[in-house]
Amino acid sequence: MTDLFATSRESQHRSVRLIRASHLDEDLSALGEGARDLLKRGGFSGRPGQIASLPEGSGADAVAGVGLANDPQALGPAALGLAEGVWRLEGPLHGLDPTLLAISWAMGGYQFARYKTWPRQPAKLMPVEGADMAEAKRVARSIHLVRDLVNTPAQDMGPHALQDAVAALAKEFGGKSKATTGDKLLKDNYPMIHAVGRAAAEAPRLIELEWGDPAHPLVALVGKGITFDSGGLDIKPSAGMRLMKKDMGGAANAMGLARLIMDAKLPVHLKLYVAAAENAIGAGAFRPGDVLASRKGLTVEIDNTDAEGRLVLGDAIARAVEDEPDLLLDFATLTGAARVALGPDLAPFYSNDPALSDAISRGGVAANDPVWQMPLWDNYDSWLDGSISDLKNAASGGFAGSITAALFLRRFVGKTRWAHFDIFAWNPEDRPARPKGGEMLGSRAAWAMLKERYGKGK
């Protein structure tokens, strides 16, 4: 990752002031008259994300609009809108959280450089007064990791590459990783992961990472790692398939959260499970009407091969609960219905534990990573009942697609304290601090919850 933060020792730096649209005259009064005039004539109104540079002697080198000052991400465009070099936030922060401001700077400064040389480097930010810069750096690195993983096309981010990425993460923080691959999945009883991925050129696998002191409470993370979702034999139309390199976005988010936990040395025992497979089409592909065995012992009739995420997750979740974790969190780009319900910004989440739900909602506010609790509506559960099997993988009727997918997962969870995030993992267009492409969503809210629950990871 390009370093977006400068140290306080850097002597050469320029200054940028935060300006509210709601208090435009008041906030601009700190500048000289010439600068104010220049800004007014240039149409500067303090709207979120607006940046303007100022000539020498203006009282600041630049201004950045923050609108109503209710969203630190308004600062996002600064890192690529201000000139290269080192910058310092000067003047009042208008109540914006200093750590979130620093994180927003780094969110906006992201450039995916694997296949393209960008014409410039992002500007660097000096430590923000009152900010926890170590936390800002951790979060920034995680966000960039998640985005890089999601943005990498399936050709370079297949099940094996995903395994390598988990192994690299384990190595960086002194954890252990391993994978159960191909036919070994059948031998070790992961039939659904195997079935979903068996038609692809690269073998499916369950990738595991373990870190931390076994005496600490066990936190299990599970991620949907479908490295490409063609839909399988129930093939997706072109428009629906176009973005499906991002179908490992749940795995990427779980890895980003694992990275935060390890980097902050949160006192937990961490186990990460990534169910990695490509949902491909081929002579060996699983079919509509097939009845799969599962790790938990439930039989699952395939109603639609495009509802593959819940299958690989079913086996991975069944494995994770065998360890009896204190907490199980799963992340998945599970349904198109979630996107229809809440759009790309808000992560819908489900939980079987009210206190955990509340903590996640609070975490979303604290981290400025909005999440929205959705109901595990018992009355819809019977829609998953199978006629020749215990359950089927897509509910009849097509109502409440995100809820029924969550209910499917619940059948594999049992009594474990659990939350499930049905995320989009993608910014459909450029917005302040949210460049088009892969995105970390929901897992920053989960991180805030974990810090609150297990303490001292700040």
Please, which residue, 61 or 229, has the CB nearer to Zn ion? Answer: 229
361 neighbors 442 (Cβ within 8 angstroms): no
- CB 322 → ligand BES: shortest distance, Å? 25
Determine if 189 is a binding residue for ligand BES (CB under 6 A). no
Q: In this chain, which of 306, 315, 369, 439 binds ligand BES, going by CB under 6 A?
A: 306
Per CB under 6 A, 271 contacts ligand BES: no
Please state the φ and ψ torsions of residue 195, each to the nearest 5 degrees.
-60, -45
H or E stretch covering 437: strand 437-438
Using CB under 5 A as the criterion, what x/- string covers residues 229-248 for binding Zn ion?
x-----------------x-
The CA distance from 295 to 297, in Å, is 5
What is the spatial order of strands in the sheet that 205-211 belongs to? Answer: 176-181, 205-211, 269-279, 218-229, 327-332, 418-422, 347-351, 371-373
Which of Zn ion, ligand BES, none has residue 339 at its interface (CB below 5 to 8 Å by kind)?
ligand BES
Cβ atoms of 204 and 182 closer than 8 Å? yes
Closest of 454, 348, 361, 367 to residue 409, by C-alpha: 348
Site for Zn ion in 187-226 (CB under 5 A): 226
Q: Are 273 and 332 in contact (CB under 8 A)?
A: no
**Which of 97, 229, 263, 315 contacts ligand BES by CB under 6 A?**
229
Interface mask toward ligand BES for 308-347; x: CB under 6 A: xx-----------------------xxxxx-x--------
Q: Which of residues 416-455 bind ligand BES (CB under 6 A)?
A: 424
Nearest distance, CB of residue 426 and ligand BES, angstroms: 8
Tell me how many residues contact ligand BES (CB under 6 A).
16
Nearer to ligand BES, 398 or 455 (CB): 398
Smallest gap from Cβ 42 to ligand BES, in A, equals 40
192 sits in which H/E element: helix 191-197
- Secondary structure letter of residue 62 according to DSSP: E
Q: What contacts 187, CB < 8 A, 6 or more positions away?
A: none
What is the nearest approach in angstroms of Zn ion to the Cβ of residue 154?
12
Residue 135: contacted member of Zn ion, ligand BES, none (CB under 5 to 8 Å, by partner type): none
Q: Which is nearer to ligand BES, 126 or 406 (CB)?
A: 406
Cβ atoms of 172 and 258 closer than 8 Å = no
Strand order in 14-19's β-sheet?
A: 51-53, 62-65, 14-19, 86-90, 124-125
Least CB distance to ligand BES at residue 15 (A): 42
Instruction: Return the ∠ at Cα 356 (arms to 347 and 443), rounded to 5°.
Output: 35
Return the exposure string of 215-233: e unless at least 16 CB atoms fall within 10 Å of the residue's CB, then b: eebbbbbbbbbbbbbbbbb
User: Contacts with Zn ion: how many residues (CB under 5 A)?
Assistant: 6
Write out the catalytic residue numbers: 236, 310
Interacting residue with ligand BES among 109, 401, 435, 437 (CB under 6 A): 401
Q: Any contact of residue 307 with ligand BES (CB under 6 A)?
A: yes
Cα–Cα–Cα angle for 340, 345, 346, nearest 5°? 75
Give 380's DSSP letter: G
Closest approach of Zn ion to the CB of residue 191, in Å: 18
Using rule CB under 5 A, residue 306 touches Zn ion: yes
Residue that has been written with the tokens 């208008």 in this structure: 94
299 binds ligand BES (CB under 6 A): no
Q: Tell me, what amino acid is at 146?
A: V
- Least distance CB 425 / Zn ion (angstroms): 11
Of the pair 335, 427, the CB lying nearest ligand BES is at 335
DSSP letter assigned to residue 83: P
Q: Find where tokens 């829609």 sit.
A: 383
Tell me which residues touch Zn ion (CB under 5 A).
226, 229, 247, 306, 308-309
Tell me which residues touch ligand BES (CB under 6 A).
229, 247, 304, 306-309, 333-337, 339, 394, 401, 424
